[in-house]
Amino acid sequence: MQRCGWVTQDPLYLAYHDREWGVAQRDTRALFEMLCLEGQQAGLSWITVLKKRENYRAAFHQFDPQAIAQMDAADFDALMRNSGIIRHPGKIAAIIANARAFLEMEAKGEDFSDFVWHFVGNVQIVHHYPDYSQAPTTSEHAIALSKALKQRGFKFIGPTICYSFMQACGLINDHQSNCFCHPGNQKA
């Protein structure tokens, strides 16, 4: 079975590649979680974050924005002592800020899933790269999403993070054209 060249033989990575990455995700909570986790990746490899994902879910109330938004200074201090997550003060603060920004969007009647998918015209963009290294690290869609998220108060959401988020959540499908997960290789 041919997979994208970035995948290692780590079972966690294989499962992530085969079942999640590039699959169109429209669940609001799952999108929020992935945006927060992609921000944690900044400067690190994705496998580092992926191996800590369950710890993040436990530490951040299964990515319930309402519960995260209620976190206070004592919670922040506890998170900074939590060796199961990446203990970067800016990244931890970003998850809390993102939950508050998310709730503010909801309060204004803005559905997060609809908002995110709007940047790709509500249709998955499918690229055809024979090698994963040919895929870009950002795009006009990611730049626009980053700018709009920043205007709403989100943190750790630059264009590169937004592009990774869009790939992860299937807004953009960048599976290599020879990968069995590429839509062109799927049997109807």
3-state secondary structure of 165: helix
Binding residues: 4, 17, 175, 179
Place of tokens 């998310």: 102
**Catalytically annotated residue among 13, 38, 117, 163:** 38
Q: Reply yes or no on whether 56 is catalytic.
A: no
How many CB atoms are closer than 10 A to CB 78?
11
3-state secondary structure of 172: strand
66/44 Cα distance (integer angstroms): 28
- In sequence order, what are the beta bridge partners of 172? 125
Q: Reply yes or no on whether 106 is catalytic.
A: no
**Catalytically annotated residue among 6, 16, 129, 132:** 16
3-state secondary structure of 102: helix
Single-letter amino acid, residue 94 = A
112/29 Cα distance (integer angstroms): 9
**Catalytically annotated residue among 46, 106, 129, 132:** 46
Binding residues for Zn(2+): 4, 17, 175, 179
For 7, half-sphere exposure in the C-beta direction (CA atoms, 13 angstrom radius) is: 22
The pair phi, psi for residue 147, each rounded to 5°, is: -60, -45
Given a contact cutoff of 8 angstroms between Cβ atoms, the answer to whether 17 and 7 are in contact is yes
Q: Reply yes or no on whether 20 is catalytic.
A: no
Active-site positions read 16, 38, 46
